[in-house]
Amino acid sequence: MAPAAYSDIQKSTNDLLNRDFFHLATAAVDVKTVAPNGVTFTVKGKTNKDDTIAASVDAKYVDKATGLTLTQGWNNANALNTKIELSELLTPGLKGELDTSVVPNGTRNAKLNFFYQQSAVNARLFFDLLKGPVATADLAVAHDGFTAGAELGYDIASAKVNKYSVGVGYTNLNYALAATATSNLSVFSAAYFHKVSPLVEVGAKTTWDSVKSSSVNVEFATKYSLDKSAFVKAKIADSGLTALAYSQELRPGVRLGLGASFDALKLAEPVHKLGFSLSFTA
């Protein structure tokens, strides 16, 4: 099995800290259906902080015989998004991807990406064809639970390195530890994740931006599974932000999420948030 990609070295902790907190959008709806011929349709909608609505419709077709995947999407910003993926490209473990976005009479984006995975290696290469062009590459290698990785960004037009970062991690069945240095080795973070029992998970992350601040930011989160269909989560940060989430599978394919966030340092001010999410899968 290939190791996690470089950007996922802290994935278990980041998921615990950031996923399922439904206060991030006042309301969100996610509908996913699969047609008999294998085409997957996904409709998403959520409210933004500026009281606007972001919505999108995607259709995804997978041809397992050739390894070709085609995804076509359209959102209410009038962006037409197309992604073409081809697995087992030239050699086993290599996948190519062309990702484009076009706004009629507006902006255009095109990215060419390559992914390569083997038992101990996970390498990726991203080309932004219309901006720069810019290339970003990352590599992760693993051995006996240890993972080390690095990322490098290169501006082809100016022939200059524009970003670099490194990270290391260790993972086993019950816990994970990771540390990264990003933003040209100016932002440092350390994270841990612990599966205390089949029902309880805890995790924490510390971050220090050596350019912007002399203080360290700390976040802590925990998740408790009430049963196979429901769980609760809580998160607290040293900034005073406290978040709660509850997720319940109402019936197979239908999941309800409720969330709230409170600023413990501004309890008397109207800065608190409530939100919910509905997800349908058929």
What CATH code is carried by the domain that includes residue 31? 2.40.160.10
The stretch 164-192 carries a mean pLDDT of: 96
Range of the domain at 85: 6-281
Could you list the beta-strand ranges (E) of the chain: 27-34, 40-47, 53-63, 68-75, 80-86, 94-102, 108-117, 121-128, 134-143, 146-155, 160-171, 175-182, 187-195, 200-209, 217-227, 230-237, 241-251, 254-263, 273-281
Question: Are the CB atoms for 104 and 78 separated by under 8 Å?
Answer: yes
Question: Are the CB atoms for 207 and 220 separated by under 8 Å?
Answer: no
Cα 256 to Cα 272: distance, rounded to the nearest angstrom: 21
Does 243 map to a domain? yes
Question: Are the CB atoms for 240 and 266 separated by under 8 Å?
Answer: yes
- Tokens read off for 131: 């901006």
How many domains in the chain?
A: 1
pTM given for the model: 0.86
CA-closest candidate to residue 83, choices 35, 115, 117 = 115
Does 86 map to a domain? yes
Cα 14 to Cα 199: distance, rounded to the nearest angstrom: 19
Does 1 map to a domain? no
Does 106 map to a domain? yes
Does 228 map to a domain? yes
pLDDT tens, residue by residue, 62-73: 998 888 999 999
pLDDT tens, residue by residue, 232-275: 999 999 988 899 999 999 999 999 999 998 887 887 777 788 88
Does 80 map to a domain? yes
Question: Are the CB atoms for 151 and 137 separated by under 8 Å?
Answer: yes
